[in-house]
Structure 1
């Protein structure tokens, strides 16, 4: 499970690092070697696509949020690699252009960031019941809390900038701020 989480963190770290800096996580001194898997060599896979995003100057918070999340995601890679030691998988081959969006502008970036953060929260929450070791449970809880914070920040930006967003399920709705109404009930 930790190697699954590490693969997710490699993806998130590469996505945010490219979006903010135009560079790979390796430019920050992060190791990507480990156990070879499939077509991915023990020296670490390559990352295709990805580029620095031109964030709107009047929306500086999006860039700042992306930079902070990128720093957190790189730290998650280091944390999981340290926890796994010699059992850590190498970074897989990643195609950051696979969805066809993400780096063209701030809206594309936030659209993909929302997807990645929701996957991260769901993955850690879904795995929680399968964990047995107290140290691993603690590490996973820390990662889940960080991913939830990231998701909240991205969801807020998506709503604030009125970026169209499809719900994942009936509980996942992000209407534009202008359409929200005040209600006395949490469930209406």
Structure 2
């Protein structure tokens, strides 16, 4: 057997071990209560994701909903205010009903680099909203209701409890009554951003095969590239800070596990360290934990998610539902239902 074959077998075995570890993680560490808490974040409906229309306009409006969420989160975190109302209204009076934003406030960044990165990403996300609205014109959907708060019932807290990251007033881990405040400090902000950024990348990757108009494909590719840069910034900073504070790498891995649990049985999502699939032969130089800044498969290609699987994550529900999590009243548009996993 050649060295190449040995390496391939080792990678496949490592992938199988990682899948088993994740299943055990959710069976024992999180427990049924945490998974149930995620499932309780939305109400089930009778329609299936596969029955949803997938015209190019539908896809762009689906992307616009996600950009509203990201832009509002970063805008509040950096500036303490949300997007201007002129960027939230429907393209025409009959398109959709505009929702409000719950929560959100400015982060008192302690690291000037994190603050600058956040400011840059906030600007890009705001421009993504403006660009998609300009492309859609009168058929652009309004911003739906968005939850980016930090209360005991907020979407961030529900996700944090499932990941084992919620804490009580004394700072102790409490995944029953604890909360998660993404605006409390640099570390919490980075973890909250990590929850969103990888989802945005996989959403645009998954939508690529659904577009046929050259101008739309070019626009989606451009936004995908920007989202991938954003994700790499967040992953790199978390990994770097995780060298001094290993719990950050562990926390990012737990968030990855939650996303993986929500979006189906395939083991695609990856944390920022250790579980390197495609490049395991380059692991651990100079005694450092191997980085995983670019999550790919054995072919070195980033993976994508279907619209239904993206909704599983932002709704925080592995069932077929039409609302929940960060979108308490669902998305505006035609594509609104997650996949039953």
Q: TM-score, normalised by structure 1?
A: 0.85
Q: Which residue of 2 aligns with 1:86?
A: 138
Deviation of the 1:181 alpha carbon = 5.3
Counterpart check, 1:173 vs 2:271 = yes
What per-residue deviation string (whole Å, max 9, x for no partner) do you get for residues 90-110 of structure 1? 011111022123112211111
Q: Which residue of 2 aligns with 1:13?
A: 71
Q: Which residue of 1 aligns with 2:312?
A: none
Cα distance change on mapping 1:170 and 1:91 into 2, 3 Å: closer
Alpha-carbon distance in structure 2 between the residues aligned to 1:19 and 1:121: 21
Aligned residues: 174
Partner-residue secondary structure (3-state), 1:99: helix
Counterpart check, 1:99 vs 2:156 = yes
Counterpart check, 1:51 vs 2:149 = no
Cα distance change on mapping 1:34 and 1:172 into 2, 3 Å: same
Q: Which residue of 1 aligns with 2:43?
A: none
Counterpart check, 1:32 vs 2:32 = no
Q: Which residue of 2 aligns with 1:122?
A: 202
CA contact (8 A) 2:70 2:125 kept: yes
CA contact (8 A) 2:91 2:140 kept: yes
- Unpaired segments ≥5 residues, structure 1: none
After the TM superposition, which segments of 4 or more aligned residues of structure 1 sit over 4 Å from their partners?
168-171
What per-residue deviation string (whole Å, max 9, x for no partner) do you get for residues 7-56 of structure 1? 00000000000000110111xx75211069xxx62xx2111101101211
- Unpaired segments ≥5 residues, structure 2: 1-58, 150-154, 158-179, 243-247, 261-266, 275-283, 292-297, 299-341
Alpha-carbon distance in structure 1 between the residues aligned to 2:87 and 2:80: 18
Give the alignment's Cα RMSD to 1 decimal.
2.2
CA contact (8 A) 2:78 2:115 kept: yes
Deviation of the 1:171 alpha carbon = 6.4
What per-residue deviation string (whole Å, max 9, x for no partner) do you get for residues 131-173 of structure 1? 1000000000000000000000000111111123114556623
Q: Which residue of 2 aligns with 1:4?
A: 62
Larger Rg: 2
Alpha-carbon distance in structure 2 between the residues aligned to 1:45 and 1:181: 43
